[in-house]
Structure 1
Amino acid sequence: MRRIGGRDIVAAILIALLAGAIFTSPPLQVLQGLSLDILTALRGKLIADRRDPANSPVVVVAIDGETYETPPFKGSPTQTWTREIGRVLGSITEGGARVIGFDVIFKNSIEQSEIPFGDTALGGRMKGFDRDYLIALRQISDSGKLVLGEILSNDHPEVPYRAQQVAVRNTVRALNVHTDHDDVIRRMPLSFAIEGRPVPAMAVELAARATGAKPAIAPSGATDLSGYAIPSAVPNTMTLNFRGLGRDIPTFSFVDLRACVEKSDRDFFRRAFDGKVVLLGTVLNFEDRKLTSMRLSGGHDGTPAPRCALPAPASTPQKSRSDVAGVFVHATAVRNLMEHDAVTELGFPMRAVLTIAFAAIIASAASIFVPTGALAVWLVLTVVYTAVAVAAFVHAQALPLTEPALASLAAIGMMVGYRFVLADRDERFLRKSFALYLAPEVIETMVASGKMPALGGEMRNVTMFFSDLRGFSSIAETMTPGELVTLMNEYLSAMTDIIESHGGYVDKYIGDSIVAMFGAPADDPAHATNAVRAALKCHDKLAELNADNPAFAGHGLSHRIGLNSGEAVVGNIGSRRRFNYTVMSDTVNVASRLEGANKYYGTAIMASETTMAQTGDAFAWRELDAIRVLGRGEAIKVFEPLAEKGAESDRQAKLAAAYADGLACWRSREFAKAADAFGRISESDPASALFAKRAQAFIANPPPTDWTPVNILEGK
């Protein structure tokens, strides 16, 4: 994660504006329709809104494959079916249907046929064939319950033949649909301008007649039907809401209804059609199929309605299809109007604002996180937003879905490009230039500040760590340059890994010596504890290297470590042209002296009293002595860390106790007792051997009365 500055915020806003403008622009308007398709599919999958077809105010009478395959229609031209159609429609009307709409157009009558038949045309011999049909149309039309359909076109209009138009007194409405640029039907026109006046589309006309209302234009400009202001994202259209994916529309087979007429089952027609809007249309596998918003989820050609006279044909279970019969598009439009359930889409301004806002959020995430992190944020927020959009779509409110998702994804790409080319250029330079010279914490500080390193320092409480290999010069003389380099690389790498894993910063290497500090540049309240723990680990690691690493074989390396805690100046120190992140103070000098003092006591690690005090009770210690080092007037109590508290061995505990007894006698001038106490453990402890020898010397030549128990170290 990186901090963002004002320039990054401006970049995120500009990127969001650009991405939002692109993905809501007219050339990509297809994305608006794709959002409807995805929402329809997700709602159908997740919500499964299966409404009872019996409650549908709209039903379909289907001239289907069964009709074409069943006598008396089998093998007969559709122009010869008109008498039977009239009889079925009459029974439907008597059954209480509110209104009947035609989604089929009979452009010609068999009476108009000019095919020769004997000494005259076939049409001449069939005069009067459509009489009963036309009478039925007139009777139903006179009751206000019939609307024929037509296709408006400048080039090839399709209208019912003239006798039908006369029979229904020109009650003919357009069946035209609104097709988007991707040839998908998602909206239905509300009206058409005919001879300079608006005429309702078929669906609006049927809904108006069923509700007893007349379409009007509301003050807002929306079409109003019985108090329902029809929402229109595209002017003069309504967005279709395929809530039941077509399964909520009962579908009657025409041939079964014709048999029902023959059976004179008026009760069936009353049960099936009372109070319903009826649409007559073809439902075939390869004719008048339409792609709609159900193309991704799959739509259904209605739900088979109860049968009256004929047994249901044996067939495979109905499967969803990407296309549906055109009559169900009109049936859905009528149902949406009657139930006030058309989809409300956001207008262009709100869609653009929402898309830009979403892209801005994701662009901001891309400026903070690495690309994979930004993609994870995008995925999570997109899933959450999609859930909100689906919930809104359940209530017929369509939020843009694809535009925000794609715009925000593009924003990630643009922001990553911006960071690579501009924003992170300095960061990459800093990391590449200083990775081998500065601690990662120092580099992170520079990156966060956005500034190049400069001269300057601050006072910090730190723990200094000095280590040096004992007698390494003489060992190095016996080795080839290659062997020496290999040995030193192995040793320094192992020690550095331990130091850095405990929060330390390696300031420099001086030959075989390591200078490190804890508590800077990264703040570490437990710097003393971590420094002591690192020293113990380094000591154990060297023993492992001596035992297992071939480069160390036969050398028996040992080191000395000095630790001291206190105030120090840390920062970029040097000349204006060249400087290092380092540390300066008396704290540093004392740690260096303690590293050298180990050789007097035969110890591997020596820490000052301040370091010991800052570790609390984390370790088991033994006090070694009070010393005065070169260049410092004050005496310092020095300690040796033995192990983590509770992890010391019995030998270490006994040795520390015996040593403490001897030291107490030493400081109280009881040199004989001190010599005896130290002598008992001197063979296994060099520090005790040192004190035993000094006690014996004072027994022979007692010190003056003003003697203080401080060991003055003359060398480093």
Structure 2
Amino acid sequence: MRRIGKRDIVAAILIALFTGAAFTSPPFQRLQGLSLDILTALRWTMFGDHRDPATSPVVVVAIDGETYETPPFKGSPTQTWTREIGRVLGSIAEGGAKVIGFDVIFPSSIEQSEIPFGDVSFGSRVRGFDRDYLIALRKLSDSGKLVLGEILSNDHPDRPDRAQQLAVKNNIRALNVHTDPDNVIRRMPLSFSIEGQPVPAMAVELAARSLGVKPEAGPTGITSLSGYAVPGAVPNTLTLNFRGMGHDVPAYSFADLRACAEKGDTDFFRRAFDGKIVLLGSILNFEDRKLTSMHLGRGYDGGPAARCALPAPASAAKQARSAVAGVFVHATAVRNLIEHDAVTELPFPLRTILTIVFAAIIAAAACLLAPTGAAITWLGLAVAYAAVAVGTFAHAIALPLTEPVLAGLTALAMMIGYRFVIADREERFLRKSFAFYLAPEVIDGMVASGKMPVLGGEMRNITMFFSDLSGFSSIAEKMTPAELVALMNDYLSAMTDIIESHGGYVDKYIGDSIVAMFGAPAVDPDHAQHAVAAALQCRDRLDELNDSHPAFRGRGLAHRIGLNSGEAVVGNIGSRRRFNYTVMSDTVNLASRLEGANKYFGTVIMASEATVNQSRSAYVWRELDMVRVQGRDEPIRVYEPLAEKSQQTQEQGIRAATYAKALACWRARDFAKAAELFESAGGDDPPCRYFAKRARIMATNPPAADWTPVNTLEGK
């Protein structure tokens, strides 16, 4: 986690304010509607709707495909259906319906037809055809149980024909809907101004008549119905709550009801319509389809309704569709009013504040964390917020969803861009500059603290790595300075890459020598094992360079490596004006002595007993000797790593066992036997040859009685 400054805080605040205000501004108003669509789909997916359609206060009588295919309607123009419509409406009213609303408009009558039929018009031939229908309309209208629909328009108004208007007097209400700029219906108008007076919309009129009250407009412009203040983010509208995705409103086929009336089954009409608000409308695949808030989750053209006289057609099962029949938009509005279940949207100030807060959290995360971590934070917060929003929407309260999520994503991108261009430019320069001198962990600590390095250190258990090229001076004499530098750069680069790949940190280069540590700055509990692995790979890598690299070929370069583990002080050590991140302790000195001790035994790698103990399980070792190095009185056991346990060869195992037996004879003062064993395993093994020579000398000139098997090394 990076350290943030005042400039970062100001940038995060400004980005949050900008993105929050931008995504709730009028140019992005469609996002508010998209939030409703997504919430509607998610709520349906997560919770569904467990209400029984039979409990719905509103039902639909559908002039549907079945009606068009059923006699006597099949093949007949709809203007000839009016008598049957009047009969069915009468049966519905007698069954106890509270009020009936028309979502269909018959703008003309068959009686008005001027098509010639013989020597007169067809209309005059059927004069009186609509009489029964008009009488039914008048009767229902006078009882307050009927409301016809109309479409208000300055250009092309759509109204029932003149005879129907006279029959129902003033019982005509507008069916106009509120369509958003993206052609989706999410809200319904509550009233319309007609001749300067507010007139309730169809849905409000039906709900009011069902409740036996009149809608009231308060001083703030909020419409109330029987004490229910209708919420609306857009003035004079109701935000539709499609809780049941249209499936919660039963739809009765008009053809079945006509047959039921023909049969005289008054009990069915009482069971189906008693106390209900009835909407007569069309449900057709090609007419009056509306995109609503259900279009993402896909809605239904009504729920299952009981049948009376006709068997259900084979295709009666209702399929989910993006666009639903328009009558269910009005039915949903009526149900929302009756059940006080319209959606409450947050007002503009609250939506803006919530969006800004969301963006601010993401901007802060993008300021503190790496881009990947900030992106994960945005995703996690978006999912959590969406879950809260869906849970709230289950209670008909719509929190903004797309605005905060998109504002947060934009704030994330802007904050990352700000960091890349401005805030982190200095940090990148610092990392790039100091990467050549310090370990990445040290640089991370400097950047995270935001402070200059200070003197001081801490005790760590580490493994020191010392290496040095043997006979380098004589080789250097035969090379030009440019050749020497190129050779050393290739050698040191190869060795450093290996050391760092195993988690080591190169402390310094001293000529052709490398001083490195494992276990600091980064904490590494397996530092000894990693140091041994690096030493073995460095040994093999130099052999490869000697064989294949043009600058090395023919020079026979060899190096010695010393390893020692123990406690040491690591940290910033030096003067108050100039210091290095380095290490100090006797652990370091002993590793240096072990590097030099290799030349006595002819070995490449020598490790102390402490390093062996911390990494023994991973490697095959052989004990070389008990030695006393210069500058230390206490003798130590020294070891040579032969190979990883899984890679040990049979020859290595035999040689190590022979060497161990010979060393035991040496320590038991059986020098002749020791010399014999060392010589048998000698061959190309320098330690065996070294000990065989010493054993022959000791066999010829036995040491004093107080002799101890400790090899005191005189040089470094």
For the aligned pair, the TM-score class normalised by the smaller chain equals 0.7 to 0.9
The match for 1:639 among 631, 637, 655 is 637
- Counterpart amino acid of 1:411? A
Report the counterpart of residue 628 of structure 2 in structure 1.
Answer: 627
State the alpha-carbon separation in 2 of the partners of residues 404 and 34 from structure 1. 12
Within 2, Cα distance between the matches of 1:519 and 1:553? 35
Do the aligned residues in 2 keep the contact of 1:457 with 1:573 (CA within 8 Å)?
no
CA distance in 2, matches of 1:253, 1:640: 98
Aligned to 2:290: 290
CA change 1:674–1:494 in 2 (3 A) is farther
CA distance in 1, matches of 2:558, 2:64: 97
Percent identity of paired positions between Structure 1 and Structure 2: 69
Q: 1:280: which partner in 2?
A: 280
Give the corresponding residue for 1:335. 335
Instruction: Establish whether residue 203 from structure 1 lines up as the match of residue 203 from structure 2.
Output: yes
* Map 1:196-595 → 2, pairs under 5 A: 197-216=197-216, 222-303=222-303, 305-310=305-310, 312=312, 315=315, 318-450=318-450, 456=455, 458=457, 461=460, 463-473=463-473, 492-493=492-493, 495-524=495-524, 527=527, 530-531=530-531, 534-535=534-535, 538-539=538-539, 558-564=558-564, 565=566, 567=568, 570-571=571-572, 581-582=581-582, 588=588, 591-595=591-595
1:101 aligns with 2:101: yes
SS of the residue aligned with 2:148?
A: strand
Gaps of 5+ in 1: 666-672
1:431/1:709 CA distance change after superposition, 3 Å? same
Q: Given the superposition, is the C-alpha separation of residues 469 and 119 from structure 1 closer, same or farther in structure 2, using an over 3 Å criterion? A: same
Distance 1:411 1:361, change over 3 A: same
> Which string of whole-angstrom CA distances, capped at 9 and with x for unpartnered residues, describes residues 64-100 of structure 1?
3444455544565544433332222111111221210
Deviation at 1:524, TM superposition (A): 4.7
Q: Aligned residue for 2:21?
A: 21
Give per-residue Cα distances to partners, 1:13-55, cap 9 Å, x unaligned: 3322222211111221111111111222233344443654333
CA distance in 2: counterparts of 1:104 and 1:186, whole angstroms? 21
- SS of equivalent to 2:628: strand
Which amino acid in the other structure matches residue 167 of structure 1? A
How far off is 1:372 after superposition? 4.2
Equivalenced residue count is 700
C-alpha separation in 2, matches of 1:628 and 1:78: 114
> 1:142 offset after TM fit, Å?
2.7
Q: 1:147–1:592: structure 2 CA closer, same or farther, 3 Å change rule?
A: same
Q: Is the partner of 1:42 in helix, strand or coil? A: helix
Matched, 1:688 2:706: no
Tell me, in whole angstroms, the C-alpha distance in 2 between the residues paired with 1:622 and 1:202.
100
For residue 96 of structure 2, give the secondary structure of its aligned residue in structure 1.
coil
Instruction: Indicate the larger mover: 316-325 or 23-32.
Output: 316-325
Shift of 1:204: 1.9
**What secondary structure does 1:334 align onto?**
helix
2:685 corresponding residue in structure 1: none
Amino acid at match of 1:300: Y
Shift of 1:637: 2.7
Aligned to 1:61: 61
Q: Distance in 2 between matches of 1:711 and 1:251?
A: 104
Structure 2 unaligned runs (5+)?
A: 683-687
- Gap change, CA 1:549 and 1:308, over 3 Å in 2: same
What secondary structure sits across from 1:412 in the alignment? helix
Q: CA deviation at 1:267?
A: 3.2
Specify the SS of the correspondent of 2:635: strand
| Counterpart-to-counterpart distance in 2, 1:653 and 1:14 | 74
Q: Which moved more, 1:315-324 or 1:654-663?
A: 654-663
Distance of aligned partners of 1:674 and 1:472 in 2 relative to their CA distance in 1, 3 Å threshold: farther
How far did 1:190 drift?
2.2
- Counterpart of 1:36 in structure 2 is 36
Partners of 1:617 and 1:111 lie apart in 2 by 106
1:161-195 superposed Cα distances (whole Å, 9 cap, x missing partner):
44434433412222221221212111112233445
> 2:670, 2:540 → 1: CA distance?
31
Residues 623 and 638 of structure 1 are in contact (CA less than 8 Å); yes or no, is this contact kept in structure 2?
no
- Cα separation, partners in 2 of 1:526 and 1:78, compared to 1, 3 Å: closer
String of CA shifts for 1:578-609, please: whole Å, max 9, x gaps: 98655567765554344223323444444567
Deviation at 1:133, TM superposition (A): 2.3
Q: Which amino acid aligns with 2:233?
A: A
The answer on whether the counterparts of 2:20 and 2:359 sit within 8 Å (CA) in structure 1 is yes
**Residue 340 of structure 1: SS of its match in structure 2?**
coil
The answer to whether the 8 Å contact 1:98/1:277 transfers is yes
Match of 1:669 in 2: none
Task: Quote the Cα distance in structure 1 between the aligned partners of 2:615 and 2:79.
Answer: 103
Q: 1:566 Cα shift?
A: 5.4
- 1:307-348 per-residue CA deviation (whole Å, 9 max, x = no partner) reads 444555564864433222211111111122223332232332
Structure 1 residues 476 and 518: alpha-carbon distance in aligned structure 2, compared to 1, 3 A threshold: same
Distance 1:608 1:312 in 2: 92
Q: Name the SS for the 1:242 alignment partner.
A: coil
Q: Contact 1:99–1:209 (CA<8 Å) still a contact in 2?
A: yes
Decide whether aligned partners of structure 1 residues 523 and 79 sit closer, same or farther in structure 2, where only a CA change above 3 A counts.
closer
Contact 1:529 1:618 in 2 (8 A): yes
Contact 1:602–1:686 at 8 Å: present in 2 too?
A: no
* 1:587-666 equivalent positions in 2, closer than 5 A: 588=588, 591-607=591-607, 622=623, 624-625=625-626, 627=628, 629=630, 632=631, 634-643=632-641, 649=653, 652=656, 655-656=659-660, 659=663, 662=666
**Cα pair 2:96 2:274 within 8 Å, conserved:** yes
Q: Deviations over 1:233-280 (max 9, x none)?
A: 323322212223223333233344334333333333233322221111
Which moves more between the two structures, 275-284 or 409-418?
A: 275-284
Residue identity opposite 1:423 in structure 2? A
- When normalised by structure 1's length, the TM-score is 0.82
Residues 618, 644 of structure 1: 8 Å contact kept: no
- What's the C-alpha RMSD, in Å, of the aligned pairs? 4.4
Aligned partners of 1:433 and 1:94: how far apart in 2? 92
TM-score normalised to structure 2 length = 0.82
| 1:87 aligned residue | 87
Counterpart-to-counterpart distance in 1, 2:63 and 2:556: 101
Are 1:609 and 1:637, in contact at CA under 8 Å, matched by a contact in 2?
Answer: no
**Alpha-carbon distance between aligned partners in 1 of 2:568 and 2:163, rounded to the nearest angstrom:** 109
**Paired residues of 1:50 and 1:248 also in contact (CA < 8 A):** no
- In structure 2, distance between residues paired with 1:530 and 1:690: 35
- The 1:505–1:690 alpha-carbon spacing in structure 2 relative to 1, beyond 3 Å, is farther
Once the two structures are overlaid, the 10-residue window that deviates more, 406-415 or 35-44, is 35-44
Alignment of 1:170-189 (within 5 A): 170-189=170-189
> How far apart in 1 are the matches of 2:583 and 2:336?
78
CA contact (8 A) 2:627 2:638 kept: no
Contact 2:662 2:674 (8 Å CA) reproduced: yes
Question: Per the alignment, do residues 712 and 315 of structure 1 end up closer, same or farther by CA in structure 2, a change over 3 Å counting?
Answer: closer
- Structure 1 position 420, deviation (Å): 0.9
